Structure 1
Amino acid sequence: MAENLVSSWSDGKTLPESYVFPPETRPGNHVVPTSKTVPVIDLGEAKGLNRKETIQKIIQASQELGFFQVINHGVPKTVVDDARDTFKEFFELPLEEKSKLYSLDLSKKAIVYTSNVDFDKEEIHNWRDSLRLLCTPLEECIQSWPEKPTRCRKVVGEYVREVGKLGSGILELICEGLGLEPGYFANKLSEQQVMAVHHYPPCPDPSLTMGTRKHSDPGLITLLLQGNVPGLQVLKDGKWIGVEAIPHAFVINIGTQLQIISNGKLRSVEHRVVTSKNEARFSAALFIEPTRDSIVEPAKALVNANNPQLYKGVRFEHFIQMFRSTYVGKMEDVM
C-alpha cells in the first residue's frame, strides 16, 4: 500500500522498530568521512593522446575498488539538472498521485515502492522510497512512465538516452583495457536497462537504520547520479569509504556479470547508503544488464593456462533467480 511510503508518514522525529537494524549492520555513531580513495577520472582525456592512460585508470580502479567517478563525460549539465529536478518534483507529488504507481510487480514498466519490492517479507526496512523504471525498449516503456510532473517522460527519457550512451562508451573503454575485441559488450550482454530513483527523506536517527543495506550489483555496470548530498559508502579491506558527492559527476561501479566476464580481473564490490538527519537525498542509478536469456561466462580471450576459468557460464535469468533466493529482502537494492 502506498501509505507505506516513508515520506507519507514520517514526522522526522520517530524511527519505528521495523527500521532499526541489528547492531552489527547499522552504521552507528561513527561518521565515515568522504574519501579521495575513489578515483575521479576525466573522460575528456580519453579522446586524445591520453586515451591509454585513461583506460588504465579505469581498469586499475575496477580491479582495486570496483568503483570510480567520471567527469567531463559528455552528458550535458542541463540534462542532469533537469532530470534531478524532475525526480525531486515527482517525490513531492501528493500521495494520491504516487499511489497510482505503487506496486511490487517487477514486470511493470513503472512502479513506486518503499524499502524493497520484498517489503512484506522483510523484517527490517530501508529508509527510502523508490521509483523503478524499465527503459528497454525506451520508446515503448516511456509510455508507461509517470504522467506527472508533466515533463517527466520527456526529461527522463533524454536523461536515459544520454546516460545510456555514456555507459556504452565506458564499456568500450573497459573492453579495450581488457584486451577484448571492439564491441564485445555491444550486444545482448548490455541490451537491458533499468533505472531506480531513490528518495531518502531526513531520518530521525541515522545511526540506527540504513538507506540502502549492504549489497553488490548483479548486472553488468551501474551509472549512479549521487547528487549533492553524500551517503554512498564502499567497502574496502573491511572498512567503509564515503564516496564524495561531486555535482554532475557519475559514480560507476562494476556489476557481478562484468566480474564474471573479466574472469575475476574486475571486482563487483559491496556498498551501502547511509541516511541524513537534516537533508533529503535523491539518487538515480541506471543499471545496464544482459538480456534475461543471455549466457554470461568468462571471455575466452581472458582464459588460458595461467588464468584458468573461475566461473561457469550461467543464463542471466537463472543468475537473478539464485541472487534473489540468496538475498531475500535485498534484491531491489540493486535491481
Structure 2
Amino acid sequence: MVACWPEPIVSVQALSQTGMSTVPNRYVKPLHQRPVINADQTEADIEIPVVDMSDVWGKQEELKRVRSACEEWGFFQVVNHGVSHELMERMRGAWREFFELPLEEKRKYANSPDTYEGYGSRLGVVKDAILDWSDYFFLNHSPSSVKNPSKWPSQPPKIRELIEEYGEEVKKLCERLVETLSESLGLEPNLLMKALGGEDKVGACLRANFYPKCPQPDLTLGLSSHSDPGGITILLPDEKVPGLQVRRGDRWITVKSVPNAFIVNIGDQIQILSNGIYKSVEHQVIVNSGKDRVSLAFFYNPRSDIPIGPIEELVTENQPALYNPIRFDKYRLLIREKGPGGKNQVDSLLAS
C-alpha cells in the first residue's frame, strides 16, 4: 500500500464553510451515479425490518425474521439492543464537537492510505478520482494489538474514554448478533464466530462520518455506492437528518431510522461465509443543502490473516461453494486502493 495520497487532501467541511454556491468538479458524480429520490416511495418501502433483540433468544419466529431481513434486504434495525441510549447520544455529541474544532487541530490526526487511521476526506488512491462530499475519522478498536488510543482525538475532553466505553458496548452487541445470525442460518450458535476467527481475534474499527451542507446535493454523494467489505456493520445514524440509502432492486430507498435504534447491515464476509444465503447490499449516502450530518459506523470484521470462504455446513451438492477463499487483509486492500465500487469486490471472488 502507498504511504501518501495522490493529491493534496481538501477538507470538505472547510469547502462547505466558504459559502460556495456550486460543487467543485472533483465532487460532481457522473449522471448515472447521481442520487435519486423516489417520489413514489410508500411508507412500507422506506421502513427496513426492525428486530427486537430482547425477543431473539431461542425464539424461532424472531430468528426467521432475522433470516428474512438478511436474505431480502441485507439490512435491519435493532431495538432493545442493550447499549445505553444516553451513551449513544453522548457519542454523537462528542463527534459533532470534534468536527467543529479548528481545521489545524483536526489535521494533527491527518491519515494516510497505508492504514487509513485518523482524520481524512477521501477513500482510494486512484489519481483524479471523483470524490465524495464527506470528512471522516477512522480508528482501530480491536484486537488490542492494533488499538492505539494515542491516535484517537484528545478533544473534546473525555472523548477517548467515551470511544472506549462505546466500543466495548457495541462490540458486545456484535457478538450477540453474530450468534443470532449463526442460529438463523441453522448453524450452532458459536459456529459463525469460529469461522470469523474467534471473538478474541476478530477486528473492530470505528468510522465517524461528517457530511457537510452541500450547495448542490443532487450532483454529488456523501458516500458512493458500495457494500461493506467486512463482517457486520453497526450504524449509529443521525436521527435528525436522514441520508442513508439502500438499494432495493433498481431503486434507492432512503432509510427512516427508528429512535434509539442501530442500523445493522451484512458485509461481504458474511455473504461469503453464508455461501450467498445472506446478502451484502449496496448502499450510499445522500447529502443535504441545509444541514450537516454525523453518523458513526462500527465495523466488526473477521480475523485478517485466515482464509475466509463458505462455511462447510452451508455447501451442498445443490449449492456448491460460490466464492473462492481470501484473507480479509488482502480483500480489504481492494476498497482501500480503489475506493467504493458497488459490488465489484465480492463479485470478483465468484468461483468459475
TM norm structure 1: 0.90
- In structure 2, the CA distance between the partners of 1:170 and 1:192, relative to structure 1 (3 Å rule), is same
Percent pairwise identity: 37
Q: Tell me if 1:286 matches 2:298.
A: yes
- In structure 2, the CA distance between the partners of 1:127 and 1:323, relative to structure 1 (3 Å rule), is closer
Residues 29-48 of structure 1 correspond to what in structure 2 (within 5 A)?
A: 35-47=45-57
- In structure 2, the CA distance between the partners of 1:87 and 1:106, relative to structure 1 (3 Å rule), is farther
Deviates more, 1:198-207 or 1:313-322: 313-322
Whole-Å separation in 1 of the counterparts to 2:266 and 2:106: 32
Q: CA deviation at 1:226?
A: 1.1
- In structure 2, the CA distance between the partners of 1:123 and 1:3, relative to structure 1 (3 Å rule), is closer
Contact 2:275–2:321 (Cα < 8 Å) also in 1: yes
Aligned equivalent of 1:146:
153
Matched AA of 2:288: S
Whole-Å separation in 1 of the counterparts to 2:39 and 2:169: 35
What SS class does the counterpart of residue 121 from structure 1 fall into?
Answer: coil
Matched AA of 1:224: L
Tell me the number of residue pairs that the alignment of Structure 1 and Structure 2 aligns.
326
- In structure 2, the CA distance between the partners of 1:31 and 1:106, relative to structure 1 (3 Å rule), is farther
Deviates more, 1:160-169 or 1:238-247: 238-247
- In structure 2, the CA distance between the partners of 1:201 and 1:268, relative to structure 1 (3 Å rule), is same
Whole-Å separation in 1 of the counterparts to 2:235 and 2:206: 10
Q: CA deviation at 1:223?
A: 0.6
Contact 2:124–2:336 (Cα < 8 Å) also in 1: no
Q: Could you tell me which of 180, 198, 213 is aligned with 2:224? A: 213
Aligned equivalent of 1:166:
173
Whole-Å separation in 1 of the counterparts to 2:227 and 2:118: 22
Q: CA deviation at 1:311?
A: 1.5
Aligned equivalent of 2:28:
20
Aligned equivalent of 1:98:
106
Aligned equivalent of 1:235:
247
Residues 240-255 of structure 1 correspond to what in structure 2 (within 5 A)?
A: 240-255=252-267
Matched AA of 2:188: E
Aligned equivalent of 2:340:
330
Whole-Å separation in 2 of the counterparts to 1:2 and 1:85: 29
Whole-Å separation in 1 of the counterparts to 2:254 and 2:131: 22
Aligned equivalent of 1:123:
129
Whole-Å separation in 1 of the counterparts to 2:114 and 2:174: 23
Contact 1:2–1:98 (Cα < 8 Å) also in 2: no
CA-atom RMSD, angstroms? Answer: 2.3
Aligned equivalent of 2:3:
none
Q: CA deviation at 1:2?
A: 8.3
Q: Which runs of 5+ in 1 are unaligned?
A: none
- In structure 2, the CA distance between the partners of 1:144 and 1:55, relative to structure 1 (3 Å rule), is same
Aligned equivalent of 2:89:
81
- In structure 2, the CA distance between the partners of 1:323 and 1:127, relative to structure 1 (3 Å rule), is closer
Matched AA of 1:212: L
Q: Could you tell me which of 68, 73, 76 is aligned with 2:76? A: 68
Q: CA deviation at 1:14?
A: 3.0
Q: Which runs of 5+ in 2 are unaligned?
A: 1-6, 346-352
Aligned equivalent of 1:176:
183
What SS class does the counterpart of residue 186 from structure 1 fall into?
Answer: helix
Aligned equivalent of 2:350:
none
Which digits, 9 at most, give the CA deviation of each residue in 1:225-271, with x for residues without a partner?
Answer: 11212111111111111111223211111111101110110001111
Which digits, 9 at most, give the CA deviation of each residue in 1:100-144, with x for residues without a partner?
Answer: 001224436x410113253x6242110000000111135942232
Whole-Å separation in 1 of the counterparts to 2:36 and 2:189: 46
Whole-Å separation in 2 of the counterparts to 1:29 and 1:323: 26
Which digits, 9 at most, give the CA deviation of each residue in 1:270-324, with x for residues without a partner?
Answer: 1100001111110111111112212111111111222222112222223233455
Which digits, 9 at most, give the CA deviation of each residue in 1:176-198, with x for residues without a partner?
Answer: 11122231233426610111110
TM norm structure 2: 0.86
